[in-house]
Structure formats: structure tokens, C-alpha cells
Amino acid sequence: MSTIRELRGTGRGIGAFNAITLEHAEAIVAGAEDAGLPVILQISQNAVKYHGSLAPFAAACQALAAQATVPVTVHLDHAEDEALIDEALTLGIRSVMFDAATLPYDENVARTRAVVERCHAAGAWVEAELGAIGGKDGAHAPGVRTDPAEAAAFVAATGVDALAVAVGSSHAMNSRDAVLDDDLIARLFDAVPVPLVLHGSSGVPDEGLRRAVAHGIIKVNVGTLLNRVLTGAVREVLAARADLTDPRKYLAPGRDAIRASVTHTLRLLGEAA
Ligand code: G3H
Ligand code: ZN
């Protein structure tokens, strides 16, 4: 994905936001247009599971991307199922994350390399994750850290285009108090020739995100924060209007809240440090 490669070394980053509903996707694209900046529109394997299949929601996201006034890359996020990656390629998605982080290192390398070969043959860009310790949160469990030398070896052995690294964030946090290891980010940046990706960014305060990008993170994945602002806005409307039944009346404010949040984050990441 050329946008990401061009950002390496500039001190600027790009936001990658997870869409679950059509309203998320609309708001992510509108928020990027408001900021006048490119964006990555992510569909996770979990979101696919929620919808029951990839094709309908992917088509909606691709249509939104096609009519956007800024560059929008539709990305398959946290795919553990290789068949889902193959389906995404068939549907025209050209950016995927293969998540084999919970596998032992050698198996992660072998399976990631095979996925990279298939994706590159199709002209697609592959992000992978290097897991150090198992468990529910994999490489992003608190305390887990990516080793720079191992990361460099992993990238060389697999040919991935971007690497998700564990530097102190954790998925699905409802507070924004995660403290990132900026020194480790800088060492990873020096050791790894491809863009670095931060997952679990909802738990990182704005200043932490700004510093992470300044130290070498390029792609910043945000999911939970959008769900928090969406749900907060919907809850507020429904609390004030117990009689409401038309979903447009409460989903529109939720969509607006996501849009504003996306614009804010994109501007924060897009400013050169
Ligand atoms: O891949 C998606 C992200 O890592 C989202 O994490 O929901 O904690 O922001 P988050
Ligand atoms: Zn993630």
C-alpha cells in the first residue's frame, strides 16, 4: 500500500479504523474527508463473523472507498482463517493482515510466508504480527514486547509489507492510560525495514499516539474507541427519548460521533512531529 510506505521516516502516521456496521464505515470515510487525509477502513475477521459473511459488507466498504474524495484502503484485519484471506483477494481487497501471532515462531513464519506469496501474486499488501507469548490477547497482552532482532528476522523470512509490534498497548481497553515504550518503538524502527503497526490504540492517550508516531509507528489501528463514542451517543439519545423507535434517530448521532473522533485522530497522526 503506497500511502503507508511513503510515510516511513516522515514522523507522520495514518489511522486504520475498524468498521462493524455500515454507519461505522460511512463515518470513517466522512471523518477522513473532513480531515482531508487518507484512511484505512478495516473489516476484522470478527466483524465478518458477526455479519455471517464477508462479501456484502466488503462491497459496501469498497463502494464507499470508490466514491470518497480522499484515498481509502479497505483492509481485512486480524484474519486467522487463510480461506477468508483468499476470499478477500477474490473480492478485490488488496490489503490484509494475517494474524498467526499465537502460533509458535517457526509455524508463524512458515504460514505467514505462504500467505505473503499468495497475496503478492495477487498484488495485495500483507501485514503480520509477531507474537511472543500466547494467551487471549497474543502479542498485545500487557507486558509483551516485540524483540527488534527477532522482528527483523521475521520480516526477512516472511517478506511481509508491515509488522504489528507489541510495545505496550492492549486490545479493547476502555480507558486511555496505556503507556507505550517509545524507546523500543525507535529501536524497532531502526531494525525493521517495513512500516510498523500499533494495535490496541484505543487505550493510548492522544499524546502517547503522537509520540508513538514520532518514534516510528506508521499505521495506528483504532476500534474500541469508535464503539465507545457510538454507543455513548446512542445511549444519550435513547435516555432522553424513551419513545424513539426509528433507528435513524439514534444511529445518526452515533455516526456523527464516530466521524468527529476519526477526524480528530487522523489530524493528530497526520501532523509531522
Ligand atoms: O486491529 C484492530 C485494533 O488493534 C483495534 O484495537 O479496539 O483496542 O482500538 P482497539
Ligand atoms: Zn488489532
Whichever domain contains 158, its CATH number is: 3.20.20.70
Going from the first residue of the chain to its last (273 residues), give the mean pLDDT of each consecutive group of 10, the final group possibly shorter. 80 96 99 98 98 98 98 97 98 97 91 98 96 46 84 97 95 94 97 96 97 97 98 98 96 98 98 76
Chain centroid, CA 199 distance in Å: 6
Q: What distances in angstroms separate CA 141 from CA 71, 98, 163, 191, 218, one per listed residue?
A: 32, 18, 16, 22, 20
pTM: 0.96
**Which residue from 99, 209, 221 has its CB within 8 A of the most atoms of ligand 1, so it is best to mutate?**
221
Question: Which residue range is the domain that position 175 belongs to?
Answer: 2-270
Q: How far is the CA of 171 from the centre of ligand 2 (A)?
A: 6
User: Can you give the pLDDT at residue 8?
Assistant: 84
CA of 169, closest atom in ligand 1: 8
User: Can you give the pLDDT at residue 97?
Assistant: 97
Q: How far is the CA of 246 from the centre of ligand 1 (A)?
A: 30
User: Can you give the pLDDT at residue 137?
Assistant: 53
Helix (H, G, I), strand (E, B) or coil at 25: helix
CA of 140, closest atom in ligand 1: 4
User: Can you give the pLDDT at residue 16?
Assistant: 98
User: Can you give the pLDDT at residue 139?
Assistant: 53
* Alpha-carbon dihedral angle through residues 155, 159, 164, 165, given to the nearest 10 degrees: 0
Task: For residue 213, give the nearest of 70, 75, 8, 6 by alpha carbon.
Answer: 8
Evaluate: CB of 219 within 6 angstroms of ligand 1. no
User: Can you give the pLDDT at residue 133?
Assistant: 30
User: Can you give the pLDDT at residue 142?
Assistant: 61
Q: How far is the CA of 200 from the centre of ligand 2 (A)?
A: 6
Q: What distances in angstroms separate CA 228 from CA 64, 72, 94, 235, 267, one per listed residue?
A: 23, 23, 29, 10, 20
Task: Count the domains in the chain.
Answer: 1
